[in-house]
Chains A and B, each alone.
Chain A
Amino acid sequence: MTALKLGLPSKGRLQQDAIDWFAKAGVTVARTGSDREYAGQVTGLDGMELVLLSASEIPRELAAGRIHLGVTGEDLIQEKLSDWAAITPTVANMGFGFADLIIAVPDSWADVTTLRDLDDAAAQFHATHGHRLRIATKYHNLVRGFLSTHGVADFEIVDSQGATEGTIKNQTAEAVADITSSGATLVANHLRILTDGEILKSQATLFAARNADWSDENRATYATLCQRLSIAPDLAL
């Protein structure tokens, strides 16, 4: 019988906050061996097993049902999974890892404060420069969906997996869509968030995997966990 598998981010602040969050429920999650070893164990709750994964892989592992539960940001789940609500129901919002996915433009664009202004500028830019206004982001699906819903066209998504704010200065993009918590990085890079440019408010969330093997033992372990966390278990799993 396989145990109930819990996927946690393999490093960083998100991992530590998640470990603290589970500790409050009497579930002790600890890494085994050295800090570099991607294995861990769970004490205080029988039948649960820890899997350490890159935060960006957790959505895929949840979707495939290779883990039963996983901690990751809502932003990553919504970007990577098409029908996320159906296949990875939310167990609990965890109250940390707050981040907003926003659209920002250079502060010197005094003519662009809203999405409608961005659409004006995009049309002008395309006509002037012979190519579309480029928006750097790693959230291709969320950004494209958001902009088309809000009537912005004539843009092009360019992929940026890091240091996204620098793409404008480097002239590989004209605007960015990125995660921000305080906005400090944006200000430091002389960028400004559009007043209606908030795509998603995200936080670290415990998700369940509809496609995992939910044996009676696993359901029982899950019910115990939920009880300790004082949340109602999703019985549709």
Chain B
Amino acid sequence: MTGIARRGSDYRRLVELSETLLGGFEQAGYERIDPPMLHDAAHVGLGGQTLLDLTYLMGNGLALRSDFTVPVYLLHAERGRDAGTPRYCYSGPVFRKTGPGDDRPTEYLQLGIEYFGSLRREAADVRIFANILSALHRSGLPDVPVLTGDVALFHAVLDALPMSDRIRTRLRGLFWRPEQLRTQITRMQAPIALPTGMVEGDLAAQLLENHVVQGKRTPAEVADLLNARATDTLPANSAQILLAYLDISAPIADVPDAVRALLGDRLNDALIRFEDRLRELRHRLGPETAAIPFRADFGRHHEYYDGFVFEMTHNDQVVAAGGRYDRLAHQVGTADWPAIGGMIRPQILLSALDEVAP
């Protein structure tokens, strides 16, 4: 991908495209804001390993934004919980470290919208999704491949299946790495024997006796993990259903039936919400939305997502994406706070438009 155009006709086109998109969002009721480029580094990890690895830490407790979600959230949080259900739009550069062999840009533009506080979550999901999609359409990109997922549905599947809390928490955390997740589901079905030389009983005492202990991770923690892996296993039936669930890749309207086929009516609450969202989609964007692709293991690698997620691509490049992140507030402050957002990458959009109508 090319860097940000900073002069000449490409720059003017980028500015015009950005202003057109932002203008459209403002007309649709989004308040335009300008989040700071630097934010508290303590919040960097919220996006998970992917964003953490990509974020420039400035060494003075500040981080250079690698994404707008957290800075927009922090700006919004200053207004407090009585702020109602505000919607914001924004545009600006984000910065991402690149490692060896990686020719992705270290600076690029994101332009997006966020919607806070609406308890009608499924309607809000669809509103953001529809606003992003129609912004792409209006800019001149009529047919853009879409992929959707639902992190909350995965959580509901985990909650419905018999397993220990330890395993459930571990599998939740692995959702962002589908390959690891599948490997661990398989691995956790069998107990892992204690290392040679260790016997059942007070494992921490054995560690203290046989090793020099140092560092912050205590023998008790080591013993806990050894014990858990030796005794706590994932029931085979749960594992089988989980793997089958993760393999679901179907038109979004077929998902409830596919999940019911695996779990019966154990997931009714989550599926009723899913079906509400399907109805909202049909109502707002038409019956053809039934065919939107859905993949059960799709979560966009940003760990703050915990609900509906979506991505629009052009020639395998992400041109727009977004998702729900109610629990971000929970991790920064006290309780969940309904939140969903989506963003467009104007530079990718511009090059896509050039390919569609040169």
Contacts and interface: CB of A to CB of B under 8 A. Distances in A.
Interface of A: 78-79, 81-84, 106-113, 116, 119-121, 123-125, 127-129, 132-133, 141-142, 144-145, 148, 151, 153-156, 168-169, 171, 173-174, 190
A174 B215 contact: yes
B225 interface: yes
Nearest 8 A-B pairs (CB), nearest first? A108-B211, A153-B49, A190-B212, A82-B100, A168-B215, A151-B180, A111-B225, A108-B213
Contact of A106 (B170, B213, B225): B213
Given A108-B213, A108-B214, A119 B222 contact: no
B225 A120 contact: yes
Contact of B211 (A84, A124, A190): A190
B102 A128 contact: no
Contact of A108 (B101, B180, B183, B207): B207
Interface string B207-225: 1000111111101011011
A168 B224 CA distance: 20
Contact of A127 (B48, B169, B212): B169
A63 B273 CA distance: 56
A123 B177 CA distance: 13
B99 A82 contact: yes
Given A154-B173, A168-B215, 4 more contacts: A82-B101, A106-B217, A127-B169, A153-B49
A83 B217 contact: no
Contacts of A174: 215-217
Interface in B213-259: 213-217, 219, 221-222, 224-226, 229
Nearest to A192: B211
Contacts of A129: 216
A123 B173 contact: yes
B58 interface: no
B99 A109 contact: no
Contacts of B101: 82-83
Interface of B: 45, 48-49, 52-53, 98-102, 169-170, 173, 176-177, 179-180, 183, 187, 195, 198, 203, 207, 211-217, 219, 221-222, 224-226, 229
B213 to A, nearest CB: 5
A142 B101 CA distance: 11
A129 B198 CA distance: 26
Chain B, interface SS category? helix
B303 to A, nearest CB: 9
A114 B35 CA distance: 42
B170 A169 contact: no
A111 B229 contact: yes
Contacts of A133: 217
Contacts of B48: 153
Nearest to B225: A111
Contacts of B211: 106-108, 110, 190
Contact of B179 (A78, A106, A141, A151): A151
A169 B213 CA distance: 9
B293 to A, nearest CB: 26
Contacts of A123: 170, 173
Nearest to B49: A153
Given A128-B221, A141-B100, A190 B179 contact: no
A116 B49 CA distance: 16
Contacts of A79: 100
Contact of A171 (B49, B99, B212, B215): B215
6 contacts: A108-B212, A108-B214, A108-B222, A109-B222, A171-B216, A174-B217
Contacts of A112: 222
B221 A124 contact: yes
Given A119-B180, A153-B177, A154-B173, A108 B229 contact: no
A124 B225 CA distance: 8
Contact of A82 (B102, B183, B229): B102
A125 to B, nearest CB: 6
B177 A110 contact: no
Contacts of B99: 82, 141, 144-145
B198 A110 contact: yes
Q: Quick one: which of A81, A119, A142 has the most chain B CB within 10 A?
A: A119
A150 B48 CA distance: 17
Contacts of B225: 111, 120-121, 124
Contacts of A78: 100
A225 B224 CA distance: 60
Q: Quick one: which of A112, A125, A153 has the most chain B CB within 10 A?
A: A153
Given A127-B169, A174-B216, A110 B49 contact: no
A231 B151 CA distance: 57
B217 A125 contact: yes
Contacts of B177: 151, 153
